[in-house]
Amino acid sequence: MRGRRFCFVGLCGLAGACAARAVPASGDGAASAQQYVVEHRAQLEAEIEIGSGASLRDLARLVDCRDIAELGRALHRKRSRIFPVPSPSDDKVAEQVVAILTDDTQLVCPDLELGPNRPFNAGRRHVLTAND
């Protein structure tokens, strides 16, 4: 009896610790990307100006972009849209970045896709069928 109670309390504690992190679910790339851009705006602004950098690579990984270099080039080309004068709020910058990543047809970022090919929340990218 004592062992079961300990296991139950331990599992509840682990579940509470995981929930407290408030990490967006897999496949919810838009929310994750917006949060990341808001938190790392200064670094991203400098890296978008040159078209590459560690923060851009992290953003690409976060939304599962297939071509990190193209992501850097796309954001660099549209930097005046992302950072107009006067300087917009962090939330507006994040919205613009996500809009560019979503709208640019050359970028393949499955975690931002809204159609039927959107990844499963469990993180699986490919479902085996009878033809596989």
Residue 65 placed within a domain: yes
Residue 46 placed within a domain: yes
Looking at residue 5, what is its pLDDT? 56
Residue 117 placed within a domain: no
Looking at residue 94, what is its pLDDT? 95
Which residues does the chain have with pLDDT short of 70? 1-28, 114-132
Distances 7 to 12, 15, 18 between C-alpha atoms, Å: 9, 12, 17
**Count of domains observed in the chain:** 1
Looking at residue 77, what is its pLDDT? 95
Looking at residue 127, what is its pLDDT? 52
Measured between alpha carbons, how far is 62 from 69 in angstroms, rounded to an integer?
Answer: 15
pTM of this prediction exceeds 0.75: no
Range of the domain at 73: 26-112
Measured between alpha carbons, how far is 67 from 7 in angstroms, rounded to an integer?
Answer: 45
